[in-house]
């Protein structure tokens, strides 16, 4: 009996994850899986592209080497685009003219960089002028790396998460970098206005110039990039990188009459409105939301694998809680959920530490954490994100949850336990010694330390020597 054919269109992080989730449920033997990828590589981890920018090989960030597919009986069709899909005929066609039948197809086409339509960016053939890049694929980043030279001036258009990472990467390569941002707040999707001020200062401290509230009108230069024009003012640059956001790749779906809005519309089981067609990841729109971070995609892939394999036919995706961190060494930014108190009754807790350059904000609704912004010190993020996820009630003093990095505030080691049998700590012993227990028997009588296994008696004697009032002058 032939296995049903499952076509997965796209080979990005969603597909890599979906394949793992399918494998865990026997899906790779249940279906004859074919993966179509436009790039030549096996799937790689896009959020680590900075490693390639810094000179690493694509292999270092590869999630699925090409051999992986073959070893698991997955047909991998790299280096071609799917150009047409017929729902009625259950067929799709690739850019090299081949035709494939499917029983079920998954759109995992991801997104592309959103490039503003500015004058002078493109050559007559539509390609971008030499020196202009987007920050999206391994090939993009390899070309950036090839072009970049220490001392060169670079402009990064877009001061979001990706833009700042690209800027830091180029700065580390020795370029003089200016971030050009359309809005007045950097990372405006993750950081509120006040936090944006702290972020800006932190970025500037790295030696990166920041220009906010500027709209790029034109790319200057004849054959190659020579600068940007903001409509009057100009910024000289030999390199420009567009990281002004992403847009879902829905062209194939639209042409195949799959209903789309900003993304391909899916329900709680990642089904499109056409039978046997699914969508997952950055190309999918669920409950009016298109996600651009990786955790929601993982959650979608789990549900989709449950649904496709029948492992849990009732699995449902209900949306994701978003947590992001900026991966720029020296600038800590963490953000989760809501960044502003936008409903009556929402509480907002802000801690502003100018001297430390730290800004921290909690958004609390119904006694639960629904959002947080941390700039300059994200050590509380690990504890906060778990409160954000599990929705447990906050302590009355909200500052308790900001007090430290983790679920258990305070490090060990400051007040070690000396007597393990009776759990007596150094502080208690020192207190007893200072108030008169200056011999071992007195100290043991008072604190019980040393009366169990006795192995701490040497330590007790030392503590007495060091702390008893009459003996402190010794040594």
Partner 1 sequence: MSAPVASLAVLSHAARCRTHCPYCAYQCGVVMSQPGGGAWTVAGDPQFPVNNGQLCIKGWTAAELLGNPERVTTPLMRTTAGKLAPAAWGEALDFVADGIRRIRAEHGPEAVGLFGSGALTNEKAYLLGKFARLAVGTPHMDYNGRFCMSSAAGAGNKAFGIDRGLPFPVSDIADAEVILLVGANSADTLPPIMQWFDRQKANGGRLIVADPRRSATARTADLHLPVTPGSDLALANGLLFLAIEERLIDEAYIASRTVGFDAVRSAVLTYDPPRVERITGVREAALRTCVRWLAEAEGAMILTGRGPEQQSKGVDTVLAFINLALALGKVGRPASGFGTLTGQGNGQGGREHGQKADQLPGYRLIEVDAHRAHVAKVWGVDPASLPRKGKSAYELLDSLGPDGGIRGLLVMGSNVAVASPHAGNIINRLKSLDLLAVCDAFLNETSAEADVVFPVYQWAEEEGTMTNLEGRVIRRRAAAASPPGVRGDIDVLRELATRLGAGDKFAFHSAPEVFEEFRRATAGGTADYSGITYDRIDREEGVFWPCPAEDHPGTPRLFAERFHHADGKAKFHAVTHRPAGEEPDADYPLYLTTGRYKEHYNSGAQTRLVSTLAAAQPRPRAQLHPHLAARLGAERGSVLVLETRRGRAEFAADVSHDVRQDTIFVPFHWGGRGAVNLLTNPALDPTSRMPEYKVAAVRVAAVRPPTDQEVPA
CB of 21 to partner 1, least distance (A): 10
* Contact range with partner 1 by CB under 8 A, out of 42-50, 75-83, 109-117, 189-197: 42-50
Q: Is 398 in the site for partner 1 (CB under 8 A)?
A: no
Q: Is 47 in the site for partner 1 (CB under 8 A)?
A: yes
Alpha-carbon gap, residue 59 to 450, rounded angstroms: 58
β-pairing verdict for 176-180 and 153-157: parallel
Alpha-carbon gap, residue 466 to 336, rounded angstroms: 49
3-state DSSP assignment of residue 176 = strand
Q: Is 54 in the site for partner 1 (CB under 8 A)?
A: no
Compute the CA torsion angle 211, 137, 373, 404 (nearest 10 deg). -120
Q: Which of 8, 19, 20, 359 binds partner 1 (CB under 8 A)?
A: 20
Alpha-carbon gap, residue 36 to 96, rounded angstroms: 12
Q: Which of 415, 434, 466, 469 binds partner 1 (CB under 8 A)?
A: 415
CB of 85 to partner 1, least distance (A): 29
Nearer to partner 1, 277 or 349 (CB): 349
Instruction: Annotate 9-46 with three-state secondary structure.
Output: ECCCHHHHHHHHHHHHCCHHHHCEEEEEECCCCCCECH
CB of 22 to partner 1, least distance (A): 14
Contacts for 355 with CB less than 8 Å, ≥ 6 apart: none
Please report, as residue ranges, which positions from 333 to 392 form the binding site for partner 1 (by CB under 8 A).
334, 378-383, 385-386, 389-390, 392
Please report how many Cα atoms fall inside a 13 Å half-sphere around the Cα of residue 102, on the Cβ side: 28
Residue 134 Cα distances to 115, 138, 218, 400, angstroms = 8, 11, 16, 43
Contacts for 435 with CB less than 8 Å, ≥ 6 apart: none
Q: How many residues bind partner 1 (CB under 8 A)?
A: 57
Q: Which of 347, 417, 438, 445 binds partner 1 (CB under 8 A)?
A: 417
Q: Is 313 in the site for partner 1 (CB under 8 A)?
A: no
Answer for the pair 297, 279: CB distance below 8 angstroms, yes or no. Answer: no
Q: Which of 51, 66, 91, 122 binds partner 1 (CB under 8 A)?
A: 51
CB of 268 to partner 1, least distance (A): 18
- One character per residue 419-438, x = contact with partner 1 (rule: CB under 8 A): -xx-x-x-------------
Nearer to partner 1, 219 or 449 (CB): 449
The helix or strand, by DSSP H or E, that contains position 155, with its residue range, turns out to be strand 153-157
Chain residues that interact with partner 1, rule: CB under 8 A: 17, 20, 45, 47-48, 51, 60-65, 68, 294-295, 298, 323-325, 327, 334, 378-383, 385-386, 389-390, 392-393, 395-396, 400, 405-413, 415-417, 420-421, 423, 425, 452-455, 457
């Amino acid at each position: 009996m032939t296995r049903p054919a499952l076509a997965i269109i796209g080979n990005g992080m969603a597909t890599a994850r979906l394949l793992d989730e399918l494998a865990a449920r026997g899906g790779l033997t249940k279906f004859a899986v074919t993966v179509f990828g436009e790039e030549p590589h096996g799937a790689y981890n896009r959020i680590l592209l900075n490693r390639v920018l810094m000179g690493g090989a694509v292999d270092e960030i590869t999630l699925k080497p090409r051999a992986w597919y073959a070893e698991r009986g997955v047909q991998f069709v790299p280096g071609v685009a799917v150009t047409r899909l017929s729902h009625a005929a259950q067929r799709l066609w690739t850019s090299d003219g081949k035709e494939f039948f499917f029983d079920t197809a998954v759109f995992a086409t991801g997104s592309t960089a959103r490039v503003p339509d500015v004058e002078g960016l493109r050559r007559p053939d539509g390609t971008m002028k030499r020196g202009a890049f987007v920050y999206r694929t391994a090939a993009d980043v390899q070309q950036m790396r090839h072009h970049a030279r220490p001392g060169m001036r670079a402009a990064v258009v877009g001061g979001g998460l990706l833009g700042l990472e690209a800027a830091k990467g180029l700065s580390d390569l020795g370029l003089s970098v200016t971030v050009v941002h359309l809005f007045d707040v950097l990372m405006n999707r993750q950081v509120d206005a006040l936090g944006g001020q702290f972020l800006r200062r932190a970025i500037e401290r790295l030696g990166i110039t920041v220009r906010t509230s500027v709209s790029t009108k034109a790319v200057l230069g004849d054959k190659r990039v020579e600068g940007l024009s903001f409509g009057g003012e100009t910024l000289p640059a030999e390199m420009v990188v567009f990281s002004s956001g992403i847009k879902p790749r829905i062209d194939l779906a639209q042409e195949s009459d799959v209903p789309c809005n900003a993304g391909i519309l899916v329900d709680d089981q990642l089904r499109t409105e056409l039978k046997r067609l699914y969508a997952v990841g950055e190309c999918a729109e669920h409950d009016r939301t298109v996600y651009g971070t990786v955790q929601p995609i993982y959650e979608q892939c789990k549900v989709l694998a449950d649904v496709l394999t029948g492992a849990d036919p009732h699995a449902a995706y209900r949306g994701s809680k978003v947590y992001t961190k900026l991966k720029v060494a020296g600038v800590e930014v963490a953000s989760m959920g809501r960044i502003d108190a936008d409903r009556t009754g929402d509480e907002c807790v802000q801690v502003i530490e100018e001297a430390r350059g730290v800004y921290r904000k909690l958004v609390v609704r119904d006694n639960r954490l629904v959002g947080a912004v941390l700039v300059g010190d994200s050590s509380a993020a690990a504890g906060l994100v778990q409160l954000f996820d599990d929705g447990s009630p906050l302590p009355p003093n909200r500052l308790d949850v900001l007090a430290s990095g983790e679920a258990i505030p305070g490090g060990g080691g400051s007040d070690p336990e000396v007597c393990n049998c009776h759990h007596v700590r150094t502080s208690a012993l020192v207190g007893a010694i200072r108030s008169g227990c200056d011999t071992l028997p007195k100290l043991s009588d008072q604190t019980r330390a040393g009366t169990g296994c006795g192995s701490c008696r040497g330590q007790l004697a030392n503590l007495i020597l060091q702390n008893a009032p009459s003996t402190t002058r010794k040594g």
